[in-house]
Structure 1
């Protein structure tokens, strides 16, 4: 059963966006505050950060996306907006993240911050969102008190130890060989504890410093740096970045170039990638026109790993919003498998955990239907009841040619960003 939790009588929101003169890094503007009220969507210094909570919403179950769209439609319809900037990300916006599975015990979480600072094409703007009837200007925000690192960090296996994960991979390969599915993505988690509450701002800054070509995000305690853009809608233009097929970097440029070439020729990785690209194109087709899928992938180089990547482009049709497109794409083969329903069923049987919002859509949307949604990868979920604890995740695409020990090694590589971010510099 689906449920939606909203304020009993949501007040009218009064919104104002103005240009401000500051070159302070966006993530340095985030002030200390409750974990659930820290929001971010930043890549290479541009994007959006927000804090506070003017209004929020939780939705659950199979209709969580539709319930969220209905809530957002009601919020935007009643808002009074004065936007002096008029660009993507200005005006009324909402940050959100959604659980991977229909039956997850964790809800989707959406929050409209009280303050949002955005930067696009070098132009910085600030939006205030309030229930006050007057439209008051906001002073240019300054750098906030810097965050402190986690203390006495300890890591422990989550639902599956490395050995148990290898066994799950072997079981998945058996199911694939038996013809049940073509591909299944299996994840594992680590449980991390700190002596003091974990400040999401510390994680965001560390991730942005090391992985500036990813989207560094935070929504209601879910923090990470995803290389995978599920979908972006910008004035009707739609893009989606598909990643599937991974190899770990060595740190030696010459060796890494050779590894990149081998990745681009790997039949196992090319097969996995083809499944993922096909699933995205098929999901976009009912909602878009002029879909363009490149003939072959390129190799995306990240500090810790390299991925096969394809950028799919299209034009939104019939008023499809960014969130509607994200709902249509989720779960893609990159985080679920092929065929989707069978792969998700096997995930539930073999992973032995609730993914929560890991591998679900995460991002933002505006009142016009534009926005950007990534896949919540390379991330961790801070426990909102005990912020001294965080679960971090990594997943691997399993196909017929997968080797269990190699997949364990790949999962270890994918855990590196969050493991490193949790440690003192």
Structure 2
């Protein structure tokens, strides 16, 4: 990426913008290919979700995620560039797309600001290959036309343009100028996004039929006892048909308020479907050469009182089955990253991670990223973890589709972004739903190991369903 010594805030006029784009067009002619032009500005404080609500179009891609407890939120809408891939090399193919794009990128504005410059918003499905009727590709990447992010108390807006040798510069400049004026004086008093009464369900249907999940758990335990694998994660799905269309951003408002410690997210495919949720699990973060991941496995409900909550948490910490499940995940992270030369640092015992409706065993894992190893290299080795797949991965994961009654799509997939500096963050697509007009498919899963009881695993998934079902139906 080439960073140009131009301050957009000091060259703030339509004429200056057209002159700048003319320089970019000359660069495109010299290079013989289009240039991605990325303009970053620090602006007055905005709520990225409010901005996305104001420009939301069901026929456009968007990516939204925030984690209120960590004070960040980012929204990207409309695709100026996009790419998709499938198969075992999908991570490497996405990295090549990112590299080729950045080799032909011109950037202006404060590149040291959080979320400045072009970002590549990415969604990897659970499996390397998806089925024909699924809503999302096995791997999809897009660079948004508009991006607004809040981090460390500051707001950064980014406009990304594709400038070709014959692009109409006046039309491009007019589009950017209109957006700049809107973001510079955003009006919350007259939102384009109108509130609506909560939807009510007309039908709620277990995918696969009643009793199918318990039977799947029993079959999985038999295979575990036969030493085919040690652990497998099996999910359920529910299909809800509502009384009116379900707007993904309305649902997101409820999720972010209730689950401040989770990643509240919405990923739209540009064809009318959105995958939304409130995920508790970070898969991977890379920042300035430092890698952060975590083991999150083993769960129990929250208590109605402080005493009951503490008793349940203590029971989880002492649970042999849950400690074993957690250790599977931690061992897998270590084993998967070892070939990259990553030396991990983590505490000897897990702690409790308490969310609004459930508590988990949690271990934070840190490491310095070796030279030459990039975020997607590590992500390709980590995904899927035993927390959403199984152990051994090669034996357990291929059996999931056989035991589940539906394709997973982005459920338990890897969602996140990579920036121009190689930093980025990915989380796991959990506590989630696929929304399509007035229908929604909800997902929830549980880890099955030796000694798992179908009734207990069913109860655990019901607990995990509750957050999304409440958000969907008010």
How much has 1:122 moved relative to structure 2? 0.9
Would you say 1:209 and 2:257 are equivalent positions?
yes
Picking from 364, 367, 370, the partner of 2:420 is: 367
8 Å contact from structure 2 (residues 60, 77) kept in 1: no
- Residue 216 of structure 2: aligned partner: 168
Q: Which residue of 2 aligns with 1:4?
A: none
Decide which moves more: 51-60 or 372-381.
51-60
Mapping for residues 136-155 of structure 1, pairs under 5 Å: 138-139=180-181, 140=183, 142=186, 143=188, 144-149=191-196, 151-155=199-203
Larger Rg: 2
The question of whether the paired residues in 1 share the 8 Å contact of 2:303 and 2:310 is answered with no
Aligned to 2:245: 197
CA displacement at 1:167 relative to structure 2:
1.1
Q: Which moved more, 1:343-352 or 1:137-146?
A: 137-146
Candidates 127, 136, 155, aligned match of 1:101:
127
When residues 172 and 267 of structure 1 are mapped into structure 2, their CA distance, relative to the original with a 3 A threshold, is same
Shift of 1:250: 3.3
1:413 equivalent in structure 2: 463
Which residue of the partner structure matches residue 37 of structure 1?
Answer: 61
| CA distance, structure 1, for counterparts of residue 254 and residue 234 of structure 2 | 27
Q: 1:342 to 1:75 in 2, by over 3 A?
A: same
Instruction: Return the match for 1:20 from 43, 52, 58.
Output: 43
What CA distance in whole angstroms lies between the structure 1 residues aligned with 2:336 and 2:114? 24
Look up the match of 1:377.
Answer: 430
Contact map agreement 2:202 2:243 (CA 8 A) in 1: no
In structure 2, C-alpha distance between the alignment counterparts of 1:407 and 1:64, rounded to whole Å? 33
Deviates more, 1:33-42 or 1:131-140: 131-140
Asked if 1:120 is matched to 2:168, the reply is: no
Match in the other structure for 1:185: 233
- What does the per-residue CA deviation read over 1:132-169, in whole Å, with 9 as the maximum and x for residues that have no partner? 56775623352443354563434533433452101111
Between the aligned partners of 1:148 and 1:417, the Cα distance in structure 2 is 20
**Aligned equivalents of 1:36, 1:319: Cα separation in 2:** 35
- Secondary structure of residue in 2 paired with 1:129: strand
Structure 1 window deviating more from structure 2 (37-46 vs 120-129): it is 37-46
Aligned to 1:390: 440
Question: SS at the partner of 2:129?
Answer: coil
Which whole-Å CA distance do the structure 2 matches of 1:145 and 1:258 have between them? 47
RMSD (Å) for aligned C-alpha atoms: 2.0
Alignment partners' CA distance in 2, 1:38 and 1:273: 34
Report the structure, 1 or 2, having the larger helix content: 2
Q: Which residue of 1 aligns with 2:79?
A: 53
Partner of 2:332: 279
Structure 1 unaligned spans of 5+: 1-8
Q: CA deviation at 1:36?
A: 4.8
1:239 and 2:297 correspond: no
| 157-166 or 41-50: bigger deviation | 157-166
The structural deviation recorded for 1:306 is 0.5
**Residues 1:352 and 2:405 are matched in the alignment:** yes
Q: Deviations over 1:14-50 (max 9, x none)?
A: 101111112x433222123126523112101413112
Distance 2:34 2:275 in 1: 27
* Structure 1 residue corresponding to 2:450, chosen from 393, 400, 420: 400
Counterpart Cα distance in 2 of 1:10 and 1:273: 49
Tell me, in whole angstroms, the C-alpha distance in 1 between the residues paired with 2:111 and 2:309: 43
1:258-286 superposed Cα distances (whole Å, 9 cap, x missing partner): 10011011000000000011111221222
Corresponding position of 2:109: 83
Matched, 1:67 2:93: yes
Q: What does residue 299 of structure 1 align with?
A: 352
Matched length: 412
